[in-house]
Amino acid sequence: MKYSLQKKLIVKENSDFQKIYRCGRSLANKNMVMYYCKAFHPSHKVAFAAGKKLGNAVTRNRVKRLLREVYRLHRHEIKDDYCLLLVGRAAAVDLKSTALEKSFYSLCKRANILKKEVEKK
């Protein structure tokens, strides 16, 4: 199984961010907000964001890096026909990646976007 996160899977354009915000649904917990919608591209895409309220650029980039890593490790468990936007919250600044993984996994379960074989585990 290939765990790399290819650049073509990451949303970079503002118009794509806006599509996910507009047509997507959102779920949140204290660590992150997840917007998700049916894919408008042939394959699933993902975006990462961290608002300026989190702190300086170093802090925001660390949160986005943690979100990318959590998604990279679990992307094979997510259904292929969804676009995701993961937004870090202030509580995520001091977290380790394992706590963020649990948080991400719980949001995916609530959104019902996990593949069937993963849900059975």
**Amino acid 39: pLDDT:** 82
**Amino acid 118: pLDDT:** 61
Enumerate the domain spans of the chain: 13-108
In the chain, which residues have pLDDT < 70?
1, 42, 118-121
**Amino acid 34: pLDDT:** 96
**Amino acid 28: pLDDT:** 96
Provide the token pair at 70.
Answer: 């959590």
Dihedral angle computed from the Cα positions of residues 112, 115, 117 and 121, in that order, rounded to the nearest 10 degrees: -50
**Amino acid 107: pLDDT:** 96
**Amino acid 7: pLDDT:** 85
Residues ≥6 apart with Cβ < 8 Å to 74: 101, 104, 105, 108
**3 φ, ψ to 5°?**
-100, 5
**Amino acid 8: pLDDT:** 83
Domain 13-108 CATH (choose: 3.40.30.10, 3.30.230.10, 1.10.645.10, 3.40.50.150): 3.30.230.10
**Model pTM greater than 0.85?**
yes
